[in-house]
Chains A and B, each alone.
Chain A
Amino acid sequence: SQTIHQWPATLVQPVGSPLSLECTVEGTSNPNLYWYRQAAGRGLQLLFYSVGIGQISSEVPQNLSASRPQDRQFILSSKKLLLSDSGFYLCAGDRDGAEAFFGQGTRLTVV
C-alpha cells in the first residue's frame, strides 16, 4: 500500500526564517503529489501539485515554492516565512484518480 512520510510533525519558526518541508512516498511510482495548507477550522487549500519530476503547478501565489527532485520526493520551501504562513501542511499523493493517500501533516507556527 502507498505511504507518505512527512516530517517534522511540528515546527516553530521565526518570521523571516527559511522553511523546508519534505515528504517521501513509498509503495508506488510516478504518483501525482500535492501540498496543502489548512488553517484552523478551515478546509484544505491546494498550494502546489506535481505530475512528475521537475513538474510543479502552483495554485496560489505566495512566498512558498515547491520542488520535486525525485519521483517520490516532494519539497515545500520558503526563503522568508511570514506570520500568515502558519498552518497545518499536508502532503498527499494519488495515481490516476484512485484513492489519495496523505501524510500525517506538519503543524507550522511562525512567531
Chain B
Amino acid sequence: LAKTTQPISMDSYEGQEVNITCSHNNIATNDYITWYQQFPSQGPRFIIQGYKTKVTNEVASLFIPADRKSSTLSLPRVSLSDTAVYYCLVSPRDYGGSQGNLIFGKGTKLSVKP
C-alpha cells in the first residue's frame, strides 16, 4: 500500500482558497487518490477521487501532477463549516480480489477562522 503524508494542521480564514497537499511517493499504477472529510463524532464523507491531471466537482478540485507522487485538494472560498479533518487515501480500483485497502493516515486538521 502506498503511504501518504499530509500536514497535520492548517489554518485559514473564511473566503480564502485552501490547498492541502498529500505526498504518496510509492503510488502504484492502478492506484487512485481519494479525499475524505470528517467532522467530529461522524463518519468520513467522500469529497473527490482522481487518477491524474485535474478533477473538479461541486465542492472541490483535485490536482494530480504527471508523476502522481503527490496530489492537492483545493477548497474554494472556505467557510466556517469547512473546519474538519481531511484525509488523503491511495488505493487500487477495480482490483479483482480486493484486499480491503482502505487505510487512513492521520489526516489534516483544517481550522477556518472568521
Contact = CB atoms under 8 A, between A and B. Distances in A.
Interface of A: 4, 32, 34, 36, 42-44, 46, 49-51, 57, 88, 90, 92, 94, 96-105, 107
Interface stretch (B18-26, B39-47, B65-73): B39-47
Q: Which of A50, A94, A97 is most buried by chain B, counting CB atoms within 10 A of its CB?
A: A97
A85 B28 CA distance: 35
Contact of B91 (A4, A97, A103, A105): A97
A99 B99 contact: no
A106 B101 CA distance: 22
* CB-CB nearest 10 A-B residue pairs: A102-B43, A97-B93, A49-B100, A99-B46, A44-B104, A43-B106, A32-B100, A96-B94, A90-B43, A97-B91
Contact of B44 (A49, A57, A96, A100): A100
Contacts of A101: 46
Contact of A100 (B92, B97, B99, B102): B102
13 contacts: A49-B102, A51-B98, A88-B41, A92-B43, A96-B94, A97-B92, A97-B94, A97-B98, A97-B101, A99-B46, A100-B34, A100-B44, A101-B46
B102 A94 contact: yes
B43 to A, nearest CB: 3
Contacts, number: 68
B76 interface: no
A62 to B, nearest CB: 17
Interface residues of B, number: 27
A100 B94 CA distance: 14
Contacts of B103: 46
B70 to A, nearest CB: 19
Q: Which of A96, A100, A103 is most buried by chain B, counting CB atoms within 10 A of its CB?
A: A100
Contact of B100 (A42, A43, A50, A104): A50
Contacts of A88: 41
B102 A32 contact: yes
Contact of A92 (B32, B41, B99, B102): B102
